[in-house]
Chains A and B, each alone.
Chain A
Amino acid sequence: MTKYNYTYADFKNDQQVKWCPGCGDHAMLNAVQRALPDVAEALDLPREKFVFVSGIGCSSRFIYYMRTFGFHTIHGRAAAVATGIKTARPDLSVWVCTGDGDSLAIGGNHFIHAIRRNIDLNLVLFNNEIYGLTKGQYSPTTKLGKVTKTSPYGTIEQPFNPGELVIGAKGSFFARTIDADVALSKELLVAAAQHKGMSVVEALVNCVIFNNRTHADFAADKATRAERTIHLRHGEKMLFGANLDKGLIFEDMQLKVVTIGEGGYTIDDVLTHDAHRRDTTLHTMLAAMRYPDYPVAVGIIRDVEEPTYEAKVEEQIAEVTSHSSIHSVSDLLHSGDTWEVR
Chain B
Amino acid sequence: MKQQLHDVVIRFSGDSGDGMQLTGTLFSETSALAGNDISTFPDYPAEIRAPQGTVAGVSGFQVHFGSGRITSPGDYCDVLVAMNPAALKANRKWLKTDATVILDADSVTADNLTKAEFSSDDPIAELGLDGYNIVMPHITSLTRTALAEQAGMDRKSIDKCKNMFALGIILYMYNCSTEHGHQFLDKKFGKKAPALAEANRLVLDGGYNYAANNHLFANTYFVAPAPQKSGTYRSINGNVATAWGFIAASERSGRPLFCGSYPITPATVILEELAKHKSLGVKSVQAEDEIAGICTAIGAAYGGSLAITTTSGPGLSLKSEALGLAVMAELPLVVVDVQRGGPSTGLPTKTEQSDLLQALHGRNGECPLVVLAAASPGDCFDKAYLAAKIALEHMTPVVLLTDGFIANGSEPWRIPDIADYAAITPPIVESAEGDFMPYKRDERLVRGWALPGTAGLEHRIGGLEKHALRGTISYDPDNHAEMVRLRAEKVRRVADYLPELQVEGDAEGDLLVVSWGGTYGHVTAAVEGARERGASIAHCHISALNPLPHGLGEILARYRHVVVCELNEGQLAYHLRQQFPSITFNQYNKCEGQPFTTSELLDHFMLYTNR
Contact = CB atoms under 8 A, between A and B. Distances in A.
A336 B289 CA distance: 33
Contacts of A82: 299
A77 B291 contact: yes
Contacts, number: 201
A69 B180 CA distance: 55
B239 to A, nearest CB: 15
A15 B299 contact: no
B279 A321 contact: yes
B29 interface: yes
- For chain B, give the interface size range: 35 or more
Interface stretch (B65-73, B456-464, B486-494): B456-464
Contacts of A327: 279-280
Contact of B455 (A15, A48, A86): A48
Interface residues of A, number: 56
A340 interface: yes
Looking at B279, B297, B325, which has the most chain A CB atoms within 10 Å of its CB?
Answer: B279
Interface string A302-333: 00000000000100110011001011111011
A70 B501 CA distance: 41
A8 to B, nearest CB: 15
B260 interface: yes
Contact of A80 (B279, B296, B305): B296
Contacts of B287: 80, 113
Contact of A81 (B251, B296, B305, B452): B296
A241 interface: no
A338 B415 contact: yes
Interface in A153-184: none
Given A110-B295, A326-B280, A337 B33 contact: yes
B35 interface: yes
Interface string A113-131: 1000000000000000000
Contact of A338 (B230, B234, B289, B325): B234
Contacts of B277: 326, 332
Interface in B336-350: none
Contacts of B463: 72-74
Contact of B297 (A84, A313, A329): A84
Most chain A CB within 10 A, of B32, B233, B418, B460, is at B460
B292 interface: yes
B131 interface: no
Contacts of A86: 299
B526 interface: no
B298 A321 contact: no
Contacts of B256: 88
Nearest to A111: B288
A67 B299 contact: no
A19 to B, nearest CB: 14
Interface of B: 29, 32-33, 35, 180, 225, 228-235, 244, 247-248, 251, 256, 258, 260, 277-281, 283, 285, 287-289, 291-292, 295-305, 307, 321-322, 324-325, 329, 414-418, 452-464, 472-473
Given A81-B302, A328-B251, A333-B415, 7 more contacts: A48-B452, A77-B291, A85-B300, A317-B278, A330-B417, A338-B234, A339-B32
5 contacts: A48-B456, A72-B463, A80-B292, A326-B280, A338-B415
